[in-house]
Amino acid sequence: WNERIGSGTMLLHGFVLAQEALLLAALRGVIAEAPFRRMQTPGGRAMSVATTSCGRLGWMTDRRGYRYVTADPLRDQAPWPTMPPLLATLAEQAAALAGFPAFRPDSCLINRYVPGAKMSLHQDKDEADFSQPIVSVSLGLPAVFQFGGLARSDKAQRYLLTHGDVVVWGGPDRLRFHGVLPVKPGEHPRMGAQRINLTFRVAG
Ligand code: MD5
Ligand code: FE
């Protein structure tokens, strides 16, 4: 079912489950080409989340800062894997349902959370156009998502995101602070002991 959790944000429960097998096969192909790696924050700490990307632009962070790049620094500056058309189509369909029919992502950031991994409260501000939404797909272990406000100190609402859920974050919610609480130990029947989150973005 579809739930509006903010004026510009829709939570589409189980939206990708009908295409689960094809989605997971496409995802495995991307990860085989561009493996997960734990990047360094500008402050020099390793993120607890491991990341990779597909699409024309991939997100990265190192001592020099956060940015989108066309070449993978881990694979001798090779281009990121192509965004599988099935993944792009699912993201575009979700965005259209939420009121963004023109959404055409050029980047998909793939985050892997093993138990204990988390993402601290932050805003997504590395993209060129904040009028474009971000579409997120949650797979594997459940996680508690913190949906804050436009100021870091605003009280956050909490939502449990489970396997197959899609969230479209847009409009006035695009710059809200958000984070993910440490993922609890567990085993998902098809994904094992991990949570994977895909975020589709117009980065460039
Ligand atoms: C995750 N990833 O579950 C989340 C899903 C990230 C990240 O936060 O930056 O990789 S994306 C959630 C999101 C994106 C843009 C805006 C808002 C939430 N929001 O306004 O709450 O791994
Ligand atoms: Fe984020």
| Tens digits of residue pLDDT in 96-151 | 999 999 999 999 999 999 999 999 999 999 999 999 999 999 999 999 999 999 99
Distance, in Å, from the CA atom of 172 to the CA atom of 6, rounded to the nearest integer, reads: 9
| The overall pTM is greater than 0.90 | yes
Q: What is the pLDDT of residue 32?
A: 98
Residue 178 in contact with ligand 1 by CB distance below 6 A? yes
Query: What residue's CA is closest to ligand 1, atom 22?
Result: 197
Prediction ipTM score: 0.99
Name the packing angle between helices 20-33 and 85-97 (round to 10°).
130
Ligand 1 atom closest to the Cα of residue 113 is 22
Query: What residue's CA is closest to ligand 1, atom 9?
Result: 124
- CA of 196, nearest ligand number: 1
Residue 199 in contact with ligand 1 by CB distance below 6 A? yes
Which residues have CB atoms below 5 A from the ion given as ligand 2?
124
Mean pLDDT over each residue of the chain, to the nearest integer: 98
Q: What domains can you pick out in the chain, each with its CATH number? A: 2-36+80-198 (2.60.120.590)
pLDDT tens digits for range 149-191: 999 999 999 999 999 999 999 999 999 999 999 999 999 999 9
CB burial readout 176-186, b (16+ within 10 A) else e: bbbebeebeee
Distance, in Å, from the CA atom of 127 to the CA atom of 179, rounded to the nearest integer, reads: 18
pLDDT tens digits for range 51-80: 999 999 999 999 999 999 999 999 999 999
d(CA 192, ligand 1 centre) in Å: 22
